[in-house]
Amino acid sequence: MTKYIFTTGGNLSSLGKGIASATIGRLLKSRGLKVTVLKMDPYLNVDAGTMNPFQHGEVFVTDDGAETDLDLGHYERFIDINLSEVNNVTTGKVYDRVLRNEREGKYLGACVQVIPHFTNELKACIRNAARASRAEVCIVEIGGTVGDIEGAPFYEAIRQFRNEVGRDNALFIHLSLVPTLTTAGEVKTKLTQHTVKELRGIGIQPDIILCRAKAPLEDDIKGKISLFCDVPVECVISAPDVNDLYQIPVNFEKEGITEIILDKLSLITDENDMSEWTEMLKRQENPRGKCTIGICGKYFFKDAYMSVMEALKHGGIAHRVGVDIKLIDTETSALKNQLKKLDGILVPGGFGYRGIEGKIKAIQFARENGVPFLGICLGLQSAVIEFARNKCGLAAANSTEFDDKTPHPVIDMMLEQRDIKDKGGTMRLGLYPAELKAGSLAAKLYKAKKIQERHRHRFEVNLKHHKILQQNGLVISGLSPDGKLAEIVEYPDHPYFIAAQFHPEFKSRPTRPHPLFAGLVGAAFEHAKDKKKD
């Protein structure tokens, strides 16, 4: 019988509900339990694929090619599991199903309503996520905050769900803000009292309250929350600010949350092994030096590059090197000055022309000055454009994404993408294999001949230009098995210059850093040392 944990949030967004859910998952995994996580997003988009990174942060891609909420990235990284399409549902996706059922006559003439038809589908999604992974514990995070109009059916569904599976089999955890008023220096519990009152108003009594605060809560504050919110005092858990996210599992464990969860869900386990996580933390917390890596992109909102930033951190963990990450605006006129301060340059994925010419300049700078470089997806495409323009004599080379009349379309739309009209879920998505060239940097980094990586693109290196690129010294070191699609390119006359058509950041874990990121950080650290010597 699967046990269920529902995490909800109060007051405001960005309190870290996703990280809290991921943390609980890691703690239960360390007790030997098989865990999965489902993110339920109350917005109307069918999936996150069509959402702007400015508003919503990055789109996280799973092995099976689902375009999902970035919280799935936290779950995968913290718990070290691979999720799929069933692990993220939205109002749009579920309504789509309900409406199709209605058209097919499946409701036998009933008046189709939010309760029970929509809520029944939501409950089916929860069961489906648990079943798909055969999890012993299924954590379900409800997006948004309690009280949002669009979230109401979700809270109703989880309220019903608990009654159906029984009190011993489901648990509600609510995350709330406990602010300190700067003028009075006082810790305030009223926000928490109010959000719990709102939750109780819709029939959900939390079992555990996670309190986001500047510092660990004093006993009297915990006592107050316990009294007003009707939870035992040991179930009021401090979630203080941390220097780094990866410290959170250790803090939560100290607060005793795992024992409480195991007890409340009648889960019996003898295992308790956090060593993999604490070993990783030790490496992170005791760096032997540091380096500065610039993400040369166009968004100045960290969530837009969440997995890339995390993967850079993992690269640092691999080498015991602290990575100072700078977000560089490729549209700035002071680009060159900013590039000079970097030990490594990363050009991430993206869409549209804005910022491209600056990305190309950053890549040229990296290539010509021996600065370690990693290009991802659009970063690979920009690297190929740069190489064609500056090394192959094709000054007007471009991608047809930016200039459909270019005389040298070195990047062009994939054939199978050309007739697609719908924007949602139609890119080349998810895992595809690539074969690596023996003796290449890629083969050395991966220590493999064949790899599988996650993709999200419509354009590719034009097959017609493979030859001229190679003749001028670019190595195509990763190819699709049919030999037609360039998956990795590298420039051997350089300490570290490599770019991938896929997104390596989605498979990187703190406990298993991705080789392309580890390679970049290792090379950047060496570059930083050389720079100091000069």
Q: Indicate whether 457 belongs to the interface with ligand GLN (CB under 6 A).
A: yes
Is residue 73 within the footprint of ligand GLN (CB under 6 A)? no
- Binding of residue 95 to ligand GLN (CB under 6 A): no
Name the residue nearer to ligand GLN (CB basis): 107 or 300: 300
The correct pick among 344, 349, 430, 504 for binding ligand GLN (CB under 6 A) is 349
- Report how far residue 373's alpha carbon sits from residue 362's, in angstroms, rounded to the nearest whole number: 9
Q: Does 454 bind ligand GLN (CB under 6 A)?
A: no
Q: Which of 75/459 has CB closer to ligand GLN? A: 459
Compute the least distance from the CB of residue 351 to ligand GLN, in Å: 4
**Interface segment toward ligand GLN; rule CB under 6 A; list 127-135, 176-184, 303-311, 452-460:** 452-460
Q: Angle CA(307)–CA(145)–CA(94) in degrees, nearest 5?
A: 75
Nearer to ligand GLN, 170 or 498 (CB): 498
Q: Give the active site residue among 211, 229, 291, 377.
A: 377
Active site residue 457: no
Q: Give min distance, CB of 460 to ligand GLN, in A.
A: 7
503 annotated active-site: yes
Q: How far is the CB of 19 from ligand GLN (least distance, A)?
A: 25
Amino acid (one-letter) located at 238:
S
Cis status of the peptide bond prior to 116, with omega within 30 of 0: yes
Figure out which of the listed residues 95, 228, 351, 402 binds ligand GLN, where binding follows CB under 6 A. 351
Stretch that binds ligand GLN, among 138-146, 383-391, 435-443, 453-461 (CB under 6 A): 453-461
377 a catalytic residue: yes
Instruction: Give, to the nearest 10 degrees, the angle between helix 71-79 and helix 17-29.
Output: 20
Rounded-to-integer distance, Cα 136 and Cα 292, Å: 42
**Is 377 one of the binding residues for ligand GLN (CB under 6 A)?**
yes
Beta carbons within 10 angstroms of residue 107's beta carbon: 13
User: Cα torsion for 494, 499, 505, 510, to the nearest 10°?
Assistant: -20
Interaction residues for ligand GLN, span 290-319 (CB under 6 A): none
Q: Which stretch in 43-51, 251-259, 347-355, 465-473 sits in contact with ligand GLN by CB under 6 A?
A: 347-355
Active-site position among 138, 505, 514, 527: 505
> Cα–Cα distances in Å, from 93 out to 56, 61, 252, 275, 371?
17, 17, 33, 39, 44
458 binds ligand GLN (CB under 6 A): yes
Q: Using an 8 Å Cβ cutoff, are 501 and 458 in contact?
A: no
We find the least distance from the C-beta atom of residue 458 to ligand GLN, in angstroms, to be 4
In the complex, minimum distance from the CB of residue 399 to ligand GLN, in angstroms, rounded to a whole number = 8
401 binds ligand GLN (CB under 6 A): yes
CB closest to ligand GLN, residue no:
349
Least Å from the CB of residue 480 to ligand GLN:
14
Segment contacting ligand GLN by CB under 6 A, of 8-16, 334-342, 346-354, 469-477: 346-354
Catalytic residue among 457, 503, 514, 527: 503
Tokens of 122: 């939501």
Q: Which residues contact 65 (CB under 8 A, 6 or more apart)?
A: 85, 429, 430, 431, 454, 455
Question: From the list 456, 507, 514, 527, which residue makes contact with ligand GLN (rule: CB under 6 A)?
Answer: 456
Q: What string of H, E and C letters represents the secondary structure of 147-193?
A: CCHHHHHHHHHHHHHHHHHCHHHEEEEEEEECCEECCCCEECCHHHH
Place of tokens 């003028």: 183
Q: What Rg do the C-alpha atoms of the chain give, in angstroms?
A: 25
Q: Binding to ligand GLN (CB under 6 A): which residues in 137-196?
A: none
Instruction: Please report, for residues 33, 253, 275, the alpha-carbon distance to residue 259 in angstroms, rounded to integers and kept in the order given.
Output: 13, 8, 18
378 binds ligand GLN (CB under 6 A): yes
195's enclosing H/E stretch is: helix 190-201
DSSP 50-62: GS-HHHH-PPEE-
Stretch that binds ligand GLN, among 229-237, 275-283, 436-444, 454-462 (CB under 6 A): 454-462
* Residue 491 falls in which region: left (phi positive, over 0), alpha (psi -120 to 50) or beta: beta
How buried is 271 (Cβ within 10 angstroms: 0-12 exposed, 13-18 middle, 19+ buried)?
A: exposed
Size of residue set near ligand GLN by CB under 6 A: 10
Smallest gap from residue 99 Cβ to ligand GLN (A): 30
412 near ligand GLN, rule: CB under 6 A: no
Phi, then psi, of 313 in degrees rounded to 5: -60, -45
Q: Which of 25, 350, 430, 504 binds ligand GLN (CB under 6 A)?
A: 350
Q: Does 391 bind ligand GLN (CB under 6 A)?
A: no
58 binds ligand GLN (CB under 6 A): no
Active-site amino acid positions: 377, 503, 505
Given the rule CB under 6 A, which residues bind ligand GLN?
349-351, 377-378, 401, 456-459
